[in-house]
Every structure is written in structure tokens, then in C-alpha cells.
Amino acid sequence: MSRVLVLVRHGQSEWNLQNLFTGWKDPDLTDVGVAEARAAGKQLKSLGIVFDRAFTSDLTRAQRTLSLIQEEIGQHDLPVIRDVALNERDYGDLSGLNKDEARVRWGEDQVHIWRRSYDVPPPGGESLKDTAARVLPYYIQNILPAVLRGENVLVAAHGNSLRALMMVLDHLTPETIPTVELATGVPLVYRLNADSTVDTKTILNA
């Protein structure tokens, strides 16, 4: 297999468990998150994919997920590039707040708009559109060229930074992307054509 691009959202984090807005805050994985990352690695190993390089964010939960996957696939020496461009969406003033408490403070409708709209940012934070504005250029300049050279590439990142990539890969629109959910620790395996379009996509459910 060549021109394979695998996207994995990090395993469950401590703040996922506590129902907190996380963004650029840096909690570690829970025991469940560790197990999810290891399971993702086992699934990828079963496919026999040998990766040429990996990309991850500047945040611990994504980096640790990648490290655990590397252990499971036996590729400890895989070249890894870390960059803030792949960080989760910045939730600004919501970061660290319980989502239910935020709904009480600002109202259900307003919090829903901040969480699910494409272009309305929370106070002091980023919208999904803002997130895509930093993720997509990085993808085009750094990740995609490696895949088009025939390399197999693994990206361990976050729900919103990966949803930004999925907009391009899956031809999603600002109207359809808000309904897309990414489960923690579930690999999405894309095989690209030489023109960068998607040949096949497989979701590796446990």
C-alpha cells in the first residue's frame, strides 16, 4: 500500500472525561484514552501498514497517542514532526469550563452556536473556520506532498483540526461539517490518488 494517510483523534483525555472545554490546554490521557490509543495501534498493525513519517500537534494528548500507536506497530524510530498548526481549536474563554456550566452561563443556544457553527468563534477563541485557516495550509505544504511522493503518513491530532482536514478529503461544506463527529482513538484510513483525491476511506471501528 502506498499514498496512505491515516488520521487519528487522540484517545480520551482527562478533560474529555470531565466534560470540560479543552482547546489548547494540555491534559494527559485517561486510562481509557491509553487503551484507545493502543487499540488503534493494534488495528493499524493488523493492516500491515508501514509508515514513513508521522505528524502530531504540540499537545500532550495527541503526542502520547502517537507514541502509544508507535509502540503497538513496532515503529519506535518513525520520524515525527510536531507543530502547533495541528493543535485543537482554541476555545478561548471557554477553555477549562464545564460544558454544562457554560450552558447555564451563556444559554444553550449560544453555546451550541459556538460549538457547532462553522464561523462563529467563542469569546477569545477560534471558530472551525479559523482552525481550518491554519490546518489546511500546513496540510498542503507539509503532509500532502509526503503522501503524493508515495509515503504512508500517520497524523495524530484533535477533533477539530482533523475535521478541518476532512472537509478537504471528504468534500464537506460549512453546512455539513458541523454534524461530523470524530470518536477518540478511531483511525480513519485514506488512500489517495496521484491527483490528491481520495481513492478509498476506511474507518477502523473496534
Summarize pLDDT for 109-167 with one digit per residue, the tens. Answer: 999 999 989 999 999 999 999 999 999 999 999 999 999 999 999 999 999 999 999 99
Q: What is the pTM of this model?
A: 0.96
pLDDT in tens, 70-114: 999 999 999 999 999 999 999 999 999 999 999 999 999 999 999
Catalytic residues: 10, 88
For residue 18, what is the DSSP state?
A: T
**pLDDT score for 178:** 84
**Which pLDDT score is estimated for 2?**
87
Helices 128-138 & 159-169, crossing angle to 10 degrees?
70
What does the mean pLDDT of the chain come to? 96
Q: How far apart are CA 184 and CA 138, in angstroms?
A: 22
The percent of residues in the chain predicted with pLDDT above 70, rounded, is: 99
- Rounded to 5 degrees, φ, ψ at 98 are -70, 135
Domain ranges for the chain, please list them: 15-187
Give the least confident one: 3-12, 50-59, 165-174, 197-206: 197-206
For the cut 90, the answer to whether the pLDDT of residue 5 exceeds it is yes
Right CATH for 15-187 from 1.10.730.10, 3.20.20.450, 3.40.50.1240, 3.10.450.630: 3.40.50.1240
| Nearest to 157, CA basis, from 95, 75, 64 | 64
Give residue 195's pLDDT band: very low, low, confident or very high (50, 70, 90).
Answer: very high
